[in-house]
Structure formats: C-alpha cells, structure tokens
Chains A and B, each alone.
Chain A
C-alpha cells in the first residue's frame, strides 16, 4: 500500500510537471516472464483483432536495419543543438575566420547536392546547425549566407513539388517542419548578400593595395582567402537570384536567369580551386551513421526526426564532386531555356526528349517542365493550351478546318467539333510531355499506361475526321478531307509505343534471344508506321498549301521561304526515322542470320515458351487499334522463312542486313549538321556493316562462339561482335 501511495503521489507530482498521459505503472517483469513460459512453442497470445498478419508488419527493435533509434545510443559523444553548442563555445557565431567561412559554405553546398540526389533534408542540409536558427548568428556573412541557403532550399523544393515529376528515389519532399527563413523577404536576402559582397570586395582591394606596396606573404594569403569568400558570396547571391527569376509565372525571368547562369559558371572555377582553403574535417572515427564534420555540422542532430525505419547511412558528397555537380546542373539549366523557342508541341517534345537522354537531375527536369507549363497552366506562361495545340496541329498537318481561307474554317459546327477535340487532347498530350520529365527508369511504365488514353483520343480524332470529311464532301466534293487529326494523334501514339519499346534496351530488360521479335516489331511495324505517318502529314500540308495558292491570286505572297524552313525540319526528322528503321531492319536480319548460323545462344529452360515472353513484352499495345497489335501467331506466320523460295540461308540474311546498315549509314550521313549522337550512330552502322559483310563472306563460319551485342557506345544501337 505504501508503495502505491507513493506512486500516486509521484503521479500527482508528475501531473504538475508535464502534461500528457499519466500512467500508473506496476512492475510485472517476473510475472510476465513466468506467464510467457507457460505458452507453447510457436503459440502467440493475442487478441482476436490482432493476428500474425499484423504482427509481420511490426518493426523489430534492436535490429540494425529496422531500428533507427538504436544508433543514437551507440554514439559515445553528445549530440548538441545550435543553442547548446553556442553556449558551450563549440560553435562560433561571430568573428569567424575566412577559412571557416569557406569550409562551411562548401560543406553546405555538398549537403544541398546530396539532398538533390534523393536524400532526406534532415540528414543533409539540416545537419548544418546554423540553418536551424540563423537569428542566433552574429557574423554578417554567415548570417546572410544561412538565410540565403534556406531560401534556395525552399525555392528548389517548391519547384520540384510543383512540377511533380519526381519519384521517391529522386527526391524527398519532407521538410520536417524546419523554418525556411520566411521572415526575411527574398529581396532582403539578396540585398544582405550584396552588402556582404561589397564589403568583401572593399577589403580585397585594400589588401591588394597592401601587396602592391610590398607587404609580405601573409597579405597574399589573406588576399587569396578574401577572394575565395567573396566569390562564394557572389555565387550564392547569383544562385538565389537565378532561382527567383525562374520562378516567375509568365516565364519572363528566363532570359535573366540565362544571364545569371552564365555569371555563375564563371565563378565555378575560382570556387573549385579554392576548396582547399576552407577548414577541413577533423579526424574522427567514421562509422555507418557518424562521420567527421567541420564546426557547425552535426550528422546526428535530426536522427529522431526520421521515421522509425529509414536508410540511415547518408554519404555526403565530397566538396570537389559537388562543385562539379553544380557545374553540370548549371549547364543543363542553360539548355532548358531553349524550350522557350519551341513553337509547337512537336518542338517542345523534341527538346524534352533530347534533354531526358542526358538523365538530368530532378531539379533541372522540374524547371524544364515548369518553363513549358508553369502553374498557371499556360504554355510558357502565356499561351492558352488549346490554342497552342491548334497551332501545333496546323504546323504538322494543316487541316482545312484550322486553316483560314477554307469554307470549313468558318463553319460554326465544325469549329465546335474541333474545339472539343483539342480540349480533349490537352490531357494526353500534356502527359506525353510530362512523362519525358520523369526519370528514365520510370518512363517505361508510364508510357505503357498512357496508351489507353492515347487510344481513346485516337478514336475521337478519327470520328472528328469522319465528320469533317462529310461536311467537306458537301461543300466541295472534289477535295476530300484527309484524316488530319487522326494522323496527328497517331504520330504521338507511335512515339509513345516506340518510347516504351526502346526503353527496354536502355533498362537492359531484353535478353539477346528476345531480340528478333523486338527488332522485328520496331522495324516492320512501329518505325514503318511512323515513317509513313510523317510522309502523310507532309503530303497533307503540301496539298493544302497548293490548294490555297491556287485559290488565292497566283504569283502573290512570298511564303516559299517559310515553307522551305518547315520542310527542312521535317526532312531531317523523316530521314532520322527512316535511318532508324533501317538500323532495326539490319539488326533484325542479323539476329536471324546469327540464329541460323548457331551463333546466338537460345535458352533451354523447362516450360519455356516464346509466346509468353512475346505477349508479355507487347501487352500494353493490345489496347491500341491503330497500329493494330500483331499477335504471336501472326508474327510467326509473317516471319516464317519457308515463305521465301528458296529458303534464305544465314549468308543471305547477313547480306540483307549489310544492305540495311549501309542504307542507314547513307541516310544518317545525308543529315546536315549531325549531332554528336548521330555521328556515333553512323560509326556503329559502319562497324556493323563491315561485320555483316565479313559474315556474309563466310568469315568465322565454323566458329560457334555466341555473338555479342555491345551497347557501350549507344544505349539503343549495339555493335555486333562475333
């Protein structure tokens, strides 16, 4: 009884001390142990509402992988927050030396970069104690820097969140309730840095004067350090201003941002060469969770903010590498500004596709997406989406319904139909563009998923085409209305299907014994359709332009130059597509030849069925009606070699393959100003051409080593090695 009274008294006391649930604890350790002993082996004692299934999802305490809290206790040293550290004097908030400032700024940048690579904010940027409360800092430079860095982090987070093209492996959006210096305006933050920069520059000039008047090496060293600090302050000032410029909703800040990026790139080199001037980490034991840091950084400060099970091992990037990373990031950001030159969906799609091939980081991807479509949902912050789509359709197929000077254009009902179709197209077309912004590995699934929507859009477009055809026939029976809208949608459907199929190579999903049907599908179906779609679109445009010219006064209007420009871009694309088709044709014939020559390993699994693999690979295409899905039996029929008379031998196939590669090479070489990628592919086509030539001449005929496909030069086009 006494004990109980005491415990109640304690309860009362604790009630005064702190709020929260009050317990009436009673030690039952021994009873519990004894009672557990009475259970059978494997018997679980639980309530009816709790079962083995629920038990499985519990995290296991004291397990290295599951129990994050375990780590805190294994660290011998004490983890202190900013306030405590300042009181103890372990972290300085005033009179920091230049070495310290350089070190802190560089280490912070390394943290930001690590965060951008997908780590949690708590384990990266906020291991910097200064950022927890910049108001405690007296040093002007450090204070301005800390506030500015918080702003930068907040802006980056905002951009990435708004663009919505990240996955959990790209980016951790959680902020854990850290304050991002909201009490200081953006303008003030930039101003603070500017003031500090001016002061530093004054000191730089002063010291320079001292050196010129013959001061010792000490001054020279001081000069170096002063310059290093001032360059960094300038860099962060530019970084913040650049992000602010990019955040403008009407994209009017992009040219300014481009200028700022150029200025930032200029200070990268001086920053990199002065990294060694900053304070470096002290010697301390490196463990899986704890690593040595410089003053002001505490890797474990936020350990308790993390969810119970969390990857606890965050490797902060080295300062050197993080500067290189920023350098690449800036160059890519510079590239993203080119999207503004795009006049149609087609142009934007090309820019996004090319950009994605660089496997850019999540920030650049997000900014590119937002430059194209800011939160206002207007293209480049200015054009209405449906208008932009109409312009794109006009540029691609020039349908009479969208072209002034035709009877259809002024028909109210026609306009209604076309408008409805464009409104309907906004979502799928925007999805096509948005998927290009996701990371490469995620795109495959998203392409597959989108095909459903593309198929129903195709349906609508075909219906509108049908209706317009009827209207046109009534108005002018001599001029049929082509399937303009259908062709336009088909182009994107095919792009999506090709994107899906090709991503399998990049992700290394296909085994060499699968190549024959993949190459066949690409060569015989997807690229063949794409090529003819582009041709058809081109003929629509030229037909219609000829018609308009014949209607309006002849000889007037110098639109020829404009037309030429258009057809140049189109010619380039159609050449590339044709060349790609020939490449895949070459690979297809080569693979079949290698199979016949026993130079390709075929698996010999039990229960192996090619049909299952084939169906699985092309399953997403089933929902698309044009182009129709080729089933496995159809594929088998179409590719049966006995259809030919005489049945081709391996040598024949190598000869055909040889021709295809040659044709591809010729087509690629006809493209003016070839990009680096095209030059690479020309080289690959040439190498493969030579290989096939050799094989068709009987080279290594008796040699039964399996052929090798070397993707090291290009992700899609391998070099065949025998």
Chain B
C-alpha cells in the first residue's frame, strides 16, 4: 500500500509540474490543439486554456495555417491520440 501511494504521489507530482504549460494534443479526427494545460482527471479528459485549433499538425505542413481560436476547451480522454508538452528550454540548455 505505501509503495502504491508513493507511485500515486509521483504521478500527481508529474501532472502538477505540467500545469500551466503549453500542451499539444492530437485528436482522433486528425486535428491538433495547442493550449495551456489547466486540468485533467482519471479518464484523462484534458482542459486547455487559450486553445488554438490546427487542422493539420502545425510542424509538418509546409505552409503554416491560420489557427482557429477556441478559448477554453475540454478534450474527452478517449479522443486523445497523443500528448506533447512544451519543455522548458532553460532546463534543457542546462542539460546540454
């Protein structure tokens, strides 16, 4: 039991460390959403703030498409294909 709860703690710590960071979510219908990670729950429903919608993943397409502003959006867990988090650049440079 205690070991489990420490795993739990670690998971929550990790999620907590991602709060208020930029997040990129790909959905089952191919759209990509980029916004600020605000909230999640056990079914990994995610709420993104200041969310922008891209029809194609923004890095792959040659021409940058104009995103559509959604604002506050909730993405149901079962529609999430992949999640990316914006890593802090400073820390990374330190690693390098």
Q: Which residues of the other chain, A, contact B49 by a CB distance below 8 angstroms?
A: 50
Check if A18 is an interface residue, CB within 8 A of chain B: yes
Q: Which residues of the other chain, B, contact A21 by a CB distance below 8 angstroms?
A: 22
Q: Which residues of the other chain, A, contact B84 by a CB distance below 8 angstroms?
A: 23, 25-29
Instruction: Considering the complex, give the chain A residue whose CB is closest to the CB of B8.
Output: A38
Bound form: Cα–Cα A31–B83 in Å: 9
A304 touches B68 (CB 8 A): yes
A28-B55 contact, Cβ under 8 Å, with A43-B41, A47-B20: no
Check if A55 is an interface residue, CB within 8 A of chain B: yes
Instruction: Considering the complex, give the chain A residue whose CB is closest to the CB of B39.
Output: A46
Q: Which residues of the other chain, A, contact B39 by a CB distance below 8 angstroms?
A: 44-47, 50, 55
| A interface list, Cβ under 8 A from B | 1, 4, 10, 14, 17-18, 20-21, 23-29, 31-47, 50, 54-55, 57-62, 69-70, 72-73, 304, 308
A61 touches B86 (CB 8 A): no
Bound form: Cα–Cα A1–B93 in Å: 11
Q: Which residues of the other chain, A, contact B10 by a CB distance below 8 angstroms?
A: 38
Interface CB pairs A-B, < 8 A, 8:
A28-B85, A35-B14, A38-B12, A43-B41, A47-B19, A47-B38, A60-B74, A69-B70
A36 touches B31 (CB 8 A): no
A72-B55 contact, Cβ under 8 Å, with A55-B47, A62-B76, A62-B79: yes
A61 touches B33 (CB 8 A): yes
Bound form: Cα–Cα A45–B41 in Å: 6
Instruction: Considering the complex, give the chain B residue whose CB is closest to the CB of A41.
Output: B42
Bound form: Cα–Cα A58–B37 in Å: 13
Least CB distance, A316 to chain B, in whole angstroms: 23
A61-B74 contact, Cβ under 8 Å, with A4-B92, A46-B19: yes
Least CB distance, B19 to chain A, in whole angstroms: 5
A29 touches B82 (CB 8 A): yes
Least CB distance, A304 to chain B, in whole angstroms: 5
Bound form: Cα–Cα A50–B41 in Å: 13
Q: Which residues of the other chain, A, contact B31 by a CB distance below 8 angstroms?
A: 69, 73
Question: Which residues in window 11-63 of B have CB below 8 A to A?
Answer: 11-12, 14-16, 18-20, 22, 24, 27-31, 33-34, 38-44, 47, 49, 53, 55, 59
Least CB distance, A46 to chain B, in whole angstroms: 4
Instruction: Considering the complex, give the chain A residue whose CB is closest to the CB of B84.
Output: A25
Q: Which residues of the other chain, B, contact A70 by a CB distance below 8 angstroms?
A: 29
Least CB distance, B38 to chain A, in whole angstroms: 5
A45-B40 contact, Cβ under 8 Å, with A55-B74, A59-B74: yes
A29 touches B12 (CB 8 A): no
A32-B83 contact, Cβ under 8 Å, with A4-B92, A45-B16, A50-B39: yes
Bound form: Cα–Cα A32–B31 in Å: 19
A62 touches B72 (CB 8 A): no
Bound form: Cα–Cα A571–B53 in Å: 67
Q: Which residues of the other chain, B, contact A35 by a CB distance below 8 angstroms?
A: 11-12, 14-15
Least CB distance, A150 to chain B, in whole angstroms: 23
Bound form: Cα–Cα A42–B40 in Å: 10
B14 touches A27 (CB 8 A): no
Least CB distance, A79 to chain B, in whole angstroms: 11
Instruction: Considering the complex, give the chain A residue whose CB is closest to the CB of B48.
Output: A58
Interface size on B, residues (CB 8 A): 56
Q: Which of B15, B55, B64, B74 contacts A36 (CB 8 A)?
A: B15
The 8 closest A-B pairs by CB, nearest first: A38-B11, A35-B11, A46-B39, A25-B84, A36-B44, A58-B74, A18-B64, A39-B42
Given contacts A36-B41, A40-B42, A73-B55, 15 further A-B contacts (CB under 8 A): A18-B64, A24-B87, A25-B59, A25-B85, A26-B87, A28-B83, A35-B15, A36-B44, A37-B11, A38-B8, A42-B41, A46-B47, A62-B75, A73-B30, A308-B73
Least CB distance, B13 to chain A, in whole angstroms: 9
Q: Which of A4, A40, A45, A308 contacts B70 (CB 8 A)?
A: A308
Q: Which residues of the other chain, B, contact A47 by a CB distance below 8 angstroms?
A: 19-20, 38-39
Q: Which residues of the other chain, A, contact B77 by a CB distance below 8 angstroms?
A: 36
Bound form: Cα–Cα A43–B66 in Å: 36
A33 touches B44 (CB 8 A): yes
B53 touches A69 (CB 8 A): yes
A61 touches B79 (CB 8 A): yes
Bound form: Cα–Cα A149–B51 in Å: 36
Q: Which of A31, A44, A62 contacts B28 (CB 8 A)?
A: A62
Q: Which residues of the other chain, A, contact B87 by a CB distance below 8 angstroms?
A: 24-26
Q: Which residues of the other chain, A, contact B68 by a CB distance below 8 angstroms?
A: 69, 304, 308
Q: Which residues of the other chain, A, contact B74 by a CB distance below 8 angstroms?
A: 55, 58-61
A25 touches B86 (CB 8 A): yes
Bound form: Cα–Cα A43–B8 in Å: 13
Instruction: Considering the complex, give the chain B residue whose CB is closest to the CB of A63.
Output: B76
Q: Which residues of the other chain, B, contact A61 by a CB distance below 8 angstroms?
A: 27, 33, 73-76, 79
A24 touches B43 (CB 8 A): no
Q: Which residues of the other chain, A, contact B82 by a CB distance below 8 angstroms?
A: 27, 29
Q: Which residues of the other chain, B, contact A29 by a CB distance below 8 angstroms?
A: 81-84
A27 touches B83 (CB 8 A): yes
Least CB distance, A59 to chain B, in whole angstroms: 5
A45 touches B12 (CB 8 A): yes
B41 touches A59 (CB 8 A): no
Q: Which residues of the other chain, B, contact A14 by a CB distance below 8 angstroms?
A: 59
A10 touches B59 (CB 8 A): yes
Q: Which residues of the other chain, A, contact B30 by a CB distance below 8 angstroms?
A: 73
Bound form: Cα–Cα A323–B77 in Å: 49
Q: Which residues of the other chain, A, contact B27 by a CB distance below 8 angstroms?
A: 61-62
Bound form: Cα–Cα A47–B18 in Å: 10
A36 touches B40 (CB 8 A): yes
Q: Which residues of the other chain, A, contact B69 by a CB distance below 8 angstroms?
A: 308
Q: Which residues of the other chain, B, contact A55 by a CB distance below 8 angstroms?
A: 39, 47, 74
A23-B41 contact, Cβ under 8 Å, with A29-B82, A29-B83, A61-B33: no
Q: Which of B64, B75, B76 contacts A17 (CB 8 A)?
A: B64
A46 touches B33 (CB 8 A): no
Least CB distance, A254 to chain B, in whole angstroms: 44
Least CB distance, A456 to chain B, in whole angstroms: 42
A24 touches B12 (CB 8 A): no
Q: Which residues of the other chain, B, contact A32 by a CB distance below 8 angstroms?
A: 15, 18, 40, 44, 83
A62-B29 contact, Cβ under 8 Å, with A26-B84, A32-B83, A72-B55: yes
Bound form: Cα–Cα A87–B89 in Å: 44
Bound form: Cα–Cα A60–B73 in Å: 6
Q: Which residues of the other chain, B, contact A36 by a CB distance below 8 angstroms?
A: 11, 15, 40-44, 77
Bound form: Cα–Cα A477–B64 in Å: 87
Q: Which residues of the other chain, A, contact B24 by a CB distance below 8 angstroms?
A: 23, 25
The residue among A4, A45, A46, A57 with the most chain B CB atoms within 10 A of its own CB is A45
Least CB distance, A14 to chain B, in whole angstroms: 7
Least CB distance, A296 to chain B, in whole angstroms: 23
